[in-house]
Amino acid sequence: MCGRFVSNTPPDELARFLRAQAPDPGTALDPSHNIAPTQLVHAARETRGVRRLDSLRWGLVPSWAKDPRTGSRMINARAETAAAKNAFRSSLTKRRCIIPADGFYEWQRLEGSKHKQPMFISHPDAEPFAFAGLWAVWHDRDDLDPDGEPIELHSCTILTCAANTAIAEIHDRMPVILPDDTWEFWLDPTNTDAEAMTELLVPAPAETIRMHPVSTEVNNTRNDGPHLIERLQTH
């Protein structure tokens, strides 16, 4: 799974990287080295032929959900079953996004210890990952805007797949990382073939992964800052 990640590239640079329009002034998110579920995240999506970098809440809330807290249980969607799950099927067909990340964390079990060692995972060239994501819109019937319309909540989830050989050393799952030559096809909402989309949801090559141990400070979601991704010095 992917339960915590880093986004410290400035929004305008992320937009250029994803070949998308930058966020409107005042809506761009601040950098974070410890993004947790239910927080806002950057996501590129395409509507009416325009690719934009938007802000979505992490944790997909299906349109039929009774409560937005449902999203806290849907931060990830398994690539192997997304097309069959009621919560994700519609989004896989027509509401896909790319969630950029400068890296993510995974926790390695330590032999003979109850504690786990957090690892920071990033690209060897220090460029952002492009996570495959799904998004949805939920309407809050109990909270109306000034025009009397239900408030919309736009949310997302990160698709995961079996780990590649690099990640498998510490965990059996990893986020789906899309190569840039698949972005146009993935984001095009007119492509509604779920089977074709599922074929893209495969592990990234092991050579696109590097990782190192980091401080257990990352375990606390209140902690943030670039020191969280620094290599832990061991003796």
150 pLDDT exceeds 80?
no
Buried b (16+ CB within 10 A) or exposed e, 28-57: bbebbbbbbbeebbbbbbbeeeebbbbbbb
Listed residue (175, 122, 135, 139) closest to 52, CA to CA: 135
pLDDT digits (tens, 9 = 90+) for 7-32: 999 999 999 999 999 998 788 899 99
Mean pLDDT of 225-231: 97
Q: Which residues of 146-163 are buried (b: 16+ CB within 10 A; e: fewer)?
A: eeeeeeebbbbbbbbbeb
Catalytic residue among 46, 97, 106, 156: 106
Q: Is 222 exposed, middle or buried (0-12, 13-18, 19+ CB in 10 A)?
A: exposed
pLDDT value at residue 113 = 80
156 is catalytic: no
Residue 101 · residue 185 · CB < 8 Å? no
Whose structure tokens read 């030559």?
181
Q: Is 144 a residue whose pLDDT tops 60?
A: no
Q: Long-range contact list for 178-185, CB < 8 A, 24+ apart? A: 178/98, 178/130, 178/131, 178/132, 179/130, 179/204, 180/130, 183/18, 183/19, 183/98, 183/130
- Report the distance separating Cα 93 and Cα 96, nearest Å: 8
pTM for this prediction: 0.94
Strand partners, 44: 53, 98
Active-site option among 2, 97, 156, 161? 2
Structure tokens of 37?
């579920």
- 41-68 mean pLDDT: 95
Local confidence band at 185 (pLDDT 50, 70, 90 cut-offs)? very high
Residue range 45-66: mean pLDDT, rounded: 95
CB 99 within 8 A of CB 158: yes
Q: Where are the beta strands (DSSP E) in 145-180?
A: 150-162, 173-175
pLDDT tens digits, residue range 66-117?
A: 889 999 999 999 999 999 999 999 999 999 999 999 999 999 988 878 889 9
Q: Is 106 a catalytic residue?
A: yes
Q: Would you state the pLDDT for residue 151?
A: 75
| Beta-carbon count within 10 A of 175 CB | 27
Domains contained in the chain, CATH given: 5-229 (3.90.1680.10)
Q: How far apart are CA 97 and CA 134, in angstroms?
A: 5
Non-local (6+) Cβ contacts of 64 within 8 A are: none
Percent of the chain past pLDDT 90, that is, above it, reads 83
